[in-house]
Copies of this chain bind each other. A is one copy, B any other.
Amino acid sequence: MNEQNRLSEVPYYAVIFSSKRTAGDHGYAEMDQKLDELVVNQPGYLGAESVRNDEGKGITISYWASLEDIRNWKQNELHKTAQQQGRQVWYENYTVRICKVEREYSFGEI
């Protein structure tokens, strides 16, 4: 996952994924890597950033050109498998927010 200074001209879209992991890996790291490799080639994918702390609380944000691109990625077969595993095994809870990015500015070298 990478972070870029200016992803795209606004407006574009963000998927905020706020989550709490369960304990243990249970295949999470392997799936995470596979999805990372897959997502970069999805139409409309602009980038992503992710932070998780020692208590398992994480925020991952992926950025997209359009709502249709987000819908298509949600329907990707491997991603659907991951979503199911996420609910069954990897996450205690999560919230997903679909957002339109209306303004963006930066300070410093990103």
Residues of chain A at the chain B interface (Cβ within 8 Å):
3, 5, 14, 16, 18, 20, 49, 51-54, 57-59, 61, 86-87, 91-110
- For the complex formed, measure the closest distance between the CB of A91 and the CB atoms of chain B, giving whole angstroms: 7
With A49-B18, A98-B101: A87-B107 Cβ-Cβ less than 8 Å: yes
Q: Does the CB pair B51–A52 fall under 8 Å?
A: yes
The 4 A-B pairs with the shortest beta carbon distances in the complex, nearest first, are A93-B108, A99-B99, A98-B103, A95-B106
Q: Does the CB pair A100–B102 fall under 8 Å?
A: yes
User: A61 contacts which of B16, B102, B104 (Cβ < 8 Å)?
Assistant: B16
With A51-B52, A59-B61: A5-B95 Cβ-Cβ less than 8 Å: yes
- For the complex formed, measure the closest distance between the CB of A97 and the CB atoms of chain B, giving whole angstroms: 5
Interface centre among A91, A94, A95 (most CB of B within 10 A): A95
